[in-house]
Chains A and B, each alone.
Chain A
Amino acid sequence: MGTISKRGLAALAVASVLPLAFGSFSAAFAKDKVKIAFVGPLTGAISPHGIGGRNSAELAVKLMNAEPNTKYEYELVVLDDECKPNVGVQVVTKIASDRSIIAAIPHYCSATAIATVDIFNRFKMPMVVWAAVLPEITYAKKYPEVHRVSGILIGQNRIGAQFMKARGYKKFVSFADSTDYGKSMNKYFTQFTLENGNEILGSFSVPPDQQDLSAELTKIKELNPEVIYFGGLTPLGARLRTQMAKFGINAQLEGNSGIMGDAFVNAAGPELAEGTLTFFDSPPLSKMPGGKMFADAYKAAGYSEPPEAYGPFAYVATRLVMETIEKVGPDRAKVTADLGDVKDRPSIVGPVTFDDHGQNITPLTTSYVVQDGKWVVWEESEYVSGKRKLKNLP
């Protein structure tokens, strides 16, 4: 026993010294290190999305570092914005004032992103938003530092309203959270639903962390809509679905990109989630040009959490930032200038083109429905063939 452990110790010592020796040897030829930052909600109720995005960004860095011909070695600095504007401002100020960090891939939550765009501009730090969809993030001001690979929520609401009209629904109730995100969702839902000649019986707005929805649901039950439109994020959406059932409200739930992802189905449970509709600015992973590569690499990297809906976008944003640094060098001003010229750049989600506001204009809005605990493209679901039916169909 004694000798074995001694030998084991010796082996351990050798094992630990060897890489050190080789490490210092290879350091002579090492590439320069470049730091980039990922920001997303890693704790709190939205964290499944943030962690999926973080894993995907990490994966992009790993794959890039494994390529032999790159000029730099990348290090991902990961920060948690908790989906809170005040925390987002703190962490973004921290990375933006750190000159060793060249660029950032920030934010899942729109309310957080809209609070930090000014800081990126003030510190001249280039960034590519990976998930937030509020239009104002790119369009309210013309900041050269601000770019976004994810879509904006206008398109999904336009497609959603047309989709619901085509099914024959007429009476709607809007239920949104009271953040800038929820307000914007409600605004475009209202605009497009009325344009399609449909009726909105009532609009409700609650703080995203409100637990008790019984008063609102009682009123909704009285209004008796065919469809409840939801403009908010996963936790409130799952709570709404759960409490709707407890109140015996049998309306069709129409969601948006905020509830897209496995997290919603897990939180509400597959039975209650069944038949929930959503409109999301991306085809499924299997239909993306690099979807299979991404899915395989993600699996091979051994992450236990799913990438969630916006994981591929986090991957694309991170990759885009690194490609730009490869091209122009680790310099904030040059990276900003070069990101402005991105046009038809191939990526795993399809070509990326930024307009003059840094907004990617290529996302493809797709309709989804939950079927057996999975988000399925509408056209491929059993709801199209008539085998299953949406609720309250006229």
Chain B
Amino acid sequence: MGMIGQHLLNGLMQGTIYGLVAMGFTIFFGVMNVIKFSHGDVLTLGAFGGLVAVWAANALGLSVPLQFIVALCVAMALTAVVGAGISHFLIMPLRNAPPLNMLLMTMMVGTAIREAIRLFFPNGTNPQRFPELLPAGGFNIGPSFFRTDAIILIIAGAASIGAVYWIINHSKFGLAMRAVAEDTETARVMGINFGRIIPLTFALGSITAGFAGMIYALYYSEINYSMGLLLAVIGFTAAIVGGLGNIWGAIIGGYLFAGLQTFVVAAMPSMSDYKNVFAFVLIIVLITWRPTGLLAERGSERV
């Protein structure tokens, strides 16, 4: 049991990725009441965009830190554009349609993105090796081994969560976003440009996916076309458990899910194959106990 620190670090790393994905779900739902199932595939797209950017930067002879910055910018820009595009061309026109139509539509968009990567990316069906751009190695504290790249990524993930929180709660754009979320009609009467705020909100949510995609790629050094699928299910679950529409809820949900997975492997190594089963079963219990999530959406009046 001397490895508690190590397990904690593993859980933190995974929780950061899950939390970032869950945050996207919760932003979309909070503002537009949309469950956007293409979120995981946007994440995959971001990671592949980052990979192409690294290849290009490498071909241009840029240094590794520059390659890293280029990849990160490309991944985030690409997901922002795709997220805004999906909302402008697909979600906005459908906003008065039944929620089920919207759900189906986003699932289909996700499938289209996933299959497009598989078919059009060279050798897209195969896992792709992602270059290691962060310093390798690490250090030992007691029996625990701390990977330098993992620590950088956890800090970066936490910082990005903080940045999104600040944007939503302290910037003018965030104010407009919250106004739209509260009451769309009144917000429009007050002069908020609805047609611009919604795509921007989706861009913001999708950037978090692009960021999570890059964290994933850098940590595992491997990406594949279907990686977004399970991440989306886990991210969505985390958002629901935390309370859909509540940012902190999403993050707590993400860490909770990662914690459950890690706990199974740490406590019962021979059962590691069942860690997702175990985690999802506990989540079902939690949802039954608190149907609106651990932290319900603030000011929620949906009865």
Contacts and interface: CB of A to CB of B under 8 A. Distances in A.
B270 A202 contact: yes
Contacts of A44: 125-126
A215 B126 contact: no
A45 interface: yes
Interface residues of B, number: 33
Contacts of A178: 273
A239 B3 CA distance: 22
A247 B145 contact: yes
B129 A267 contact: yes
Given A219-B269, A248-B145, A47 B125 contact: yes
A215 B266 contact: yes
B127 interface: yes
A235 B221 CA distance: 13
Contacts of B140: 248
A219 B265 contact: yes
A68 B39 CA distance: 60
A215 B275 contact: yes
Given A205-B273, A212-B14, A242 B221 contact: yes
B47 to A, nearest CB: 12
B270 A204 contact: yes
Contacts of B145: 221, 247-248
A191 interface: no
A205 B273 CA distance: 6
Nearest to A235: B127
Interface string A191-206: 0000000000011111
A214 B138 contact: no
B222 interface: yes
B88 interface: no
Contact of B269 (A45, A216, A267): A216
A286 interface: no
Interface residues of A, number: 28
Interface in A237-251: 239, 242-243, 246-248
A90 interface: no
A214 B272 contact: no
Interface string A205-235: 1110001101110110110000000000001
A43 interface: yes
A221 B10 CA distance: 13
B227 A206 contact: no
B152 to A, nearest CB: 13
Contact of B273 (A207, A214, A235, A267): A207
A347 to B, nearest CB: 31
B143 interface: yes
A45 B127 contact: yes
Nearest to B139: A248
A212 B221 CA distance: 11
B7 interface: yes
A219 B144 CA distance: 11
Contacts of A204: 269-270, 272
Nearest to B263: A215
Contacts of A205: 270, 272-273
B121 interface: no
B262 interface: yes
B61 interface: no
A202 B221 contact: no
Given A45-B126, A246-B147, A267-B129, A218 B272 contact: no
Nearest to A266: B129
A293 B13 CA distance: 52
A218 B7 contact: yes
B12 to A, nearest CB: 11
Given A218-B7, A247-B145, A43 B125 contact: yes
B122 interface: no
Interface string A31-64: 0000000000001110100000000000000000
A247 B139 CA distance: 10
B95 to A, nearest CB: 36
Interface string B1-42: 011001100100110000000000000000000000000000
A248 B126 contact: no
Nearest to A269: B129
B166 interface: no
A216 B265 contact: yes
Given A204-B272, A267-B129, A218 B10 contact: yes
Nearest 6 CB-CB pairs, A to B? A215-B265, A43-B125, A214-B10, A218-B6, A222-B3, A205-B273
Interface of B: 2-3, 6-7, 10, 13-14, 125-127, 129, 136, 138, 140, 143, 145, 147, 149, 220-222, 224, 227, 261-262, 264-266, 269-270, 272-273, 275
Given A216-B269, A221-B6, A247-B145, 14 more contacts: A44-B126, A204-B272, A212-B14, A215-B10, A215-B261, A215-B275, A216-B265, A218-B3, A218-B10, A218-B265, A219-B265, A219-B266, A221-B145, A246-B147
Interface of A: 43-45, 47, 178, 202-207, 211-212, 214-216, 218-219, 221-222, 235, 239, 242-243, 246-248, 267
10 contacts: A178-B273, A202-B269, A204-B269, A211-B220, A211-B222, A215-B10, A215-B272, A221-B143, A242-B222, A248-B145
